[in-house]
Amino acid sequence: MKVILLIGLPLVFLAAYFGSHKPDIKSGPESTPLAQIGPSREVQKEVGISILPSEILQGDPAEILITGTTTVKSLTFNGKTVPTFINDGSPTALVGIDLKMPNGSYPVKVTLADGKVITKNLIVGKRVIAEAPLGIPESLGGNTPEGEKTLLNALAADNAVLANIPTVLEKLWQGKFAYPVENPEVTDVYGYTRLTVNTSISHKGTDFHAPPGTPVLAMNSGVVRINRFFTAYGNTIVIDHGFGISTMYMHLSKSDVKVADTVKKGQVIGLSGETGYAEGPHLHLTVKVNNISIDPMKFLELF
């Protein structure tokens, strides 16, 4: 009986000790409350559409961002499908507002992977368009009815080629776009109307001061799609940056690339000149988004 008591007493003391000393459960930042232990619940983010910039005019580019998701099935602007790409972690689309597009409200429709549809209106404001006379070079017939006809025919033929430039559904550019010349100085802005003999011609590009032989730089990485002479635009290089974005460099005196070449941002692709419909040496830059010529300076501000 004594042996049993000697063995049992330590067990009693141990039971009493652990019964009165419960584990200390901390409630600080290094611990997890017991009530929160279990399957985690994913926070549902609200999906929405953001449109930049806040004010969009005729001839401007617009950036459409889808927030709250990374998967988009399709996106349309004014009923036309626009490709999307991931930019800074968000599905993004770029649209070009044609210079002649009536001002007003146009729908953006986004279909998500689960079939849900969200919409938002893009408001297009009216651009104030200035007018200025511009003559026809003697090489194209001068300021005569014959020269006017020659110029208009040349523009129609050149634009027909430039309207069908292939572009890949792949993001070829890296980071922000850069100016096509060093120390850029704009001499003619986008969008004004040139009064040529009896015809009004819209200037759908930006002209930069560029004395003969000024190095012309690729605005971003991409693939050369066109490198040829045009009657109106002179020696021209077109770079495809993917997802409908292309940059066009016109009136060049020399080209340093060939079709299908891959170029990098800042690479010298040619030299400025005054070939084609030009009254003096300069660089004419056209930027297209899904085959719509938009304001290059607004594009640089946005993207």
What would the pLDDT profile of 39-70 be if each residue is shown by its tens digit? 333 345 689 999 999 999 999 999 999 999 98
Q: What is the pLDDT of residue 138?
A: 85
The percent of residues in the chain predicted with pLDDT above 90, rounded, is 79
Q: Is the Cβ–Cβ distance between 60 and 97 less than 8 Å? A: yes
Q: What is the residue-wise DSSP string for 40-63?
A: --PPPPPPEEEEESSSEETT-EEE
pLDDT above 70 for 25: no
Instruction: Categorize the per-residue pLDDT at 190 as very low, low, confident or very high, splitting at 50, 70 and 90.
Output: very high
48-125 topology per CATH = Immunoglobulin-like (2.60.40)
Rounded distance, CA 200 to CA 166, Å?
A: 29
pLDDT above 90 for 257: yes
Rounded mean pLDDT of 145-154?
A: 94
CATH architecture designation of domain 131-302? Distorted Sandwich (2.70)
In the chain, ranges of CATH 2.60.40.1590 domains: 48-125
What would the pLDDT profile of 238-247 be if each residue is shown by its tens digit? 999 999 999 9
Q: What is the pLDDT of residue 46?
A: 87
Q: What is the pLDDT of residue 19?
A: 43
Rounded distance, CA 92 to CA 13, Å?
A: 70
pLDDT above 60 for 180: yes
Instruction: Categorize the per-residue pLDDT at 17 as very low, low, confident or very high, splitting at 50, 70 and 90.
Output: very low
Q: Which residue has the tokens 């368009």?
A: 129
Mean pLDDT of the chain: 87
Rounded distance, CA 56 to CA 3, Å?
A: 96
Instruction: Categorize the per-residue pLDDT at 164 as very low, low, confident or very high, splitting at 50, 70 and 90.
Output: confident
What would the pLDDT profile of 113-140 be if each residue is shown by its tens digit? 999 999 999 999 999 999 999 899 888 8
Q: What is the pLDDT of residue 143?
A: 92
pLDDT above 50 for 24: no
The neighbour count for residue 70, using CB atoms within 10 Å, is 10
Instruction: Categorize the per-residue pLDDT at 163 as very low, low, confident or very high, splitting at 50, 70 and 90.
Output: very high
In the chain, ranges of CATH 2.70.70.10 domains: 131-302
